[in-house]
Structure 1
Amino acid sequence: MERPSGYILLTSNLAASIEELGAGGSSEHQKLFFKEEFLIDDSKEVIAQAYIASKEPVRVIIAAQNYNLYAQNALLKILEEPPKHISFILLATSKSSLLPTIRSRLPIIDHREPLSQNPFPLALSSLSLKEVYGFLKELTRENPSKEETKRLIESLLFACKEESLPLRAQDLELFGRAIVLAEQFERPAHIFLPLLLLLLQRKKSVRPKN
């Protein structure tokens, strides 16, 4: 018999999706953890509840606007090897709120309403060192929030696709690490400097030769 595992549900409205799942609260066959920010203590409680023996299937539903980095790391093992009869449903408003290691363990279902992608502030077609310097200086002045920084990273990756810039596997890993650094409240300018220098290098590699 195949063991239940679960999935990740991306949603624009956490409360509405919880209601659609029929998850009004915790019960014998369902455990609900609905938080503004999912912290390490919440992970410990999830793990404790998941290991309570049950002969019937139990759904563990976790929903949060923000997921703490250390709280996610604490869940990795149990998501990979869930206890018997346990399935996990993780609700999030964006992929970037979850670590790549979390996303790799569960299938992702996207129920979000289509949103227009805000363009990255710099045009990659004419990107220069001078523009990179100005952008980083402006980032330092504005000091965007964690979520704003992650959205900027996503818009930069989208801009790369729009410009058909060739990104290698290690380049995509660099974008993944940038999301992690944003989660750790690293300074945005420090996050974007290696990304933009990388893209300058990639632009040179596709420049037409005379």
Structure 2
Amino acid sequence: MNKIIITNDFEALKDELLSQKQDVKFFENSEILLEDTKNAIKEAYIAEDHLKTIVLMGYKFRHEAQNSLLLILEESPKNIEFILVSSSKSVFLKTIISRLSVENRLQVVFAEKTGLNFANLTLKDLTNFINAKIELEKKDMLDKNDLKKILESIIFECFEMGFKFSQKELEYINKLMILINLNTKARAVLTPLLLMINEKTRR
């Protein structure tokens, strides 16, 4: 029953799982850490008389986090299924892939590139980018789903460039995603995020 799902639409998958399954526990982070997998494993050992689905969802999975899952994926407790979700199969170790079926749900249309050079992000570039999104917002051409995709694109591009975020920074990114769901405006989300990234490049 355990499997990997590759998708670039996490929210749609979450909605689908919640509608199809009786008991779903989500462990979601931009980068799945050892702490996330430890909490998921604890949840797996809470006995249930019905099927419980444990979903680990992130753009990256730390190697130590994946290694901690090997045994429980090999011999999962009764009535427990694991689903690992990411936007790329290459995120996963071969030892993980060999234990799970892989379901590819990548959409044909991918999120547009931000056009930002995160290795050399200037305050001018940052300001122009944010102002452009604010203007789209004023014209009702940018809603919370669009803003969510922009945030996801920013984080994914940073990961592609080799950026490493601390656990505190990842937690902050997740808080920004929550704020977007609460209809927070683009300026309040993008400004602190891009300033944080700008600060990382100057260290």
Aligned-partner Cα distance in 1 for 2:175–2:47: 26
1:13-60: CA deviations, max 9, x gaps?
9xxx9xxxxxxxxxxxxxx937xxxxxxxxxxxxxxxxxxxxxxxx52
1:95-130: CA deviations, max 9, x gaps?
69xxxxxxxx96325531365453123221331111
State the one-letter code of the partner of 2:52: S
Aligned-partner Cα distance in 2 for 1:137–1:128: 14
Given that 2:7 and 2:107 are in contact with CA atoms closer than 8 Å, whether structure 1 keeps it comes out as no
Answering whether residue 97 of structure 2 is matched by residue 112 of structure 1, we say no
State the one-letter code of the partner of 1:131: D
Aligned-partner Cα distance in 2 for 1:12–1:194: 24
Answering whether residue 3 of structure 2 is matched by residue 60 of structure 1, we say no
Distance 1:176 1:12, change over 3 A: closer
Answering whether residue 117 of structure 2 is matched by residue 123 of structure 1, we say yes
Distance 1:84 1:157, change over 3 A: same
1:56-106: CA deviations, max 9, x gaps?
xxx5288xxxxxxxxxxxxxxxx886852243488xxx969xxxxxxxx96
Q: Which segment drifts farther, 184-193 or 131-140?
A: 131-140
Structure 2 counterpart of 1:37: none
Helix, strand or coil for the counterpart of 1:157? Answer: helix
State the one-letter code of the partner of 2:202: K
Displacement of 1:191: 0.5
Helix, strand or coil for the counterpart of 2:22? Answer: strand
Given that 2:6 and 2:105 are in contact with CA atoms closer than 8 Å, whether structure 1 keeps it comes out as yes
Aligned-partner Cα distance in 2 for 1:175–1:199: 11
Given that 1:9 and 1:89 are in contact with CA atoms closer than 8 Å, whether structure 2 keeps it comes out as no
State the one-letter code of the partner of 1:181: L
Structure 1 counterpart of 2:50: 85
The higher radius of gyration belongs to 1
Distance 1:131 1:95, change over 3 A: same
Aligned-partner Cα distance in 2 for 1:203–1:169: 17
Alignment equivalent of 2:129, drawn from 117, 131, 135: 135
State the one-letter code of the partner of 2:105: R
Structure 2 counterpart of 1:189: 187
State the one-letter code of the partner of 2:134: T
Given that 1:165 and 1:203 are in contact with CA atoms closer than 8 Å, whether structure 2 keeps it comes out as no
Alignment equivalent of 2:146, drawn from 148, 164, 167: 148
Structure 2 counterpart of 1:26: none
Given that 2:148 and 2:180 are in contact with CA atoms closer than 8 Å, whether structure 1 keeps it comes out as yes
Helix, strand or coil for the counterpart of 1:133? Answer: helix
Aligned-partner Cα distance in 1 for 2:7–2:131: 34
1:119-161: CA deviations, max 9, x gaps?
1232213311112112221111112212111111111112212
Helix, strand or coil for the counterpart of 2:168? Answer: helix
Aligned sequence identity (%): 19
Structure 2, gaps ≥5 residues long: 25-42, 60-80, 86-102
Q: Which segment drifts farther, 79-88 or 112-121?
A: 79-88
Helix, strand or coil for the counterpart of 2:19? Answer: strand
Root-mean-square deviation (Å): 3.8
